[in-house]
Amino acid sequence: MKNEEQTRTLFGINLTSRPIWQQFLICSSGFFFGYLVNGICEEYVYNRLQFSYGWYFTFVQGFVYLVLLRLQGFTTKHMVNPWKTYWKLSAVLMGSHGLTKGSLAWLNYPAQLMFKSTKVLPVMVMGAFIPGLRRKYPPHEYIAAILLVIGLIMFTLADANTSPNFSMLGVIMVSGALIMDAFLGNLQEAIFTMNPETSQTEMLFCSTVVGLPFLIPPMLLTGEIFKAWNACYEHPYVYGVLVFEAMATFIGQVSVLSLIAIFGAATTAMITTARKAVTLLLSYLIFTKPLTEQHGTGLILIAMGIVLKMLPENKIPTLNKPSPIPMKSYDNEKKTLTEDDEEKRPLV
């Protein structure tokens, strides 16, 4: 756990005063709830309604975030970091969101989901190069990440045979989002590490405000802003789905930022992978898609990777054993000095 001295809250719940397992449970529950709803809404909008406007939907989502943050009472007066801190983070964040949502026009949701599940490996690798982190991980965690990648490949190859919505362009887009995700989690952790006073709401507010302008060029160059506007004008109920999705995702975003601040980017990436597996199963159950043996093998390998990542490290607690010795020595020394100097002590 990092930054134990920093008080952290999540929607009014004090996390710092609670045991570590309760912190993990509360943050994970908020994250799972928010992104399970997000996954179902995205599957409905992209695959059922055939609305593939990722950049525009991310733009709308950003404004919903700002409204919710304002309702929570956050203003620029609560900022502890300068605006320039969030330029790189915002560009990566919006690029990741836009490419992720846009890839659903060429990939079905489970295939995209499994690609995104592998982000734990690039997150771990990138963590060794981000200034302020320079993290190193034990070998079994890299093995766990490799199992996830192999499971993804098997699942994706099987999905290409059972789903018509699979193309190389979608793979390129989601791969670009994956690379940006590798920077995203580590940059967020670096900001929390270098300035522990940074709150989750500040992180989300600043990255959204700075990031929204980055979405305008791709919307204009592709003409998506006009197509999406006309499509949503003809079907205004889509905005209701988008707002509902954004509200749920807001809960998930603040929760995942809490996980990054407390447990780090790599651990959070593994938790998001577990969430993706649950969302994947729900996608097949709700939208009645065929599962093959190859799908099952891929899921088993992913489960093995998750279990391996959760194994505790075997460390010998050598730092705690010698602690009584210096304490005893200090007490004896203090006692001796007190007895020797007792006669020299002035009377009060």
- Averaged in consecutive runs of 10 residues, what is the pLDDT profile of the chain (348 residues)? 62 83 87 82 70 81 91 87 86 81 72 71 73 69 77 66 65 85 83 86 89 86 86 85 89 88 79 69 66 76 74 48 45 44 46
pLDDT at position 189 is 84
Global model pTM greater than 0.75: no
- Express each pLDDT in 159-193 by its tens digit: 555 554 567 788 888 888 888 888 888 888 888 88
Distance CA 292, CA 155 (A): 9
Residue 125 has a pLDDT of: 75
Q: Cα separation of 177 and 181, whole Å? A: 6
Report whether 191 contacts 81 (CB < 8 A).
yes
Quote the pLDDT of residue 68: 92
Query: From the centroid of its chain, how far is CA 196?
Result: 18
| Residues ≥6 apart with Cβ < 8 Å to 331 | none
276, amino acid identity: K
If you compute the radius of gyration of the chain from its CA atoms, what whole number of angstroms results?
24
What's phi and psi for 314, nearest 5 deg? -85, 95
Note the pLDDT of residue 28: 86
CA dist., res. 171 & res. 151, Å (int): 16
The helix (run of H) or strand (run of E) holding residue 13 is: strand 13-14
Task: Give which of 115, 219, 209, 204 is closest to 157, Cα–Cα.
Answer: 115
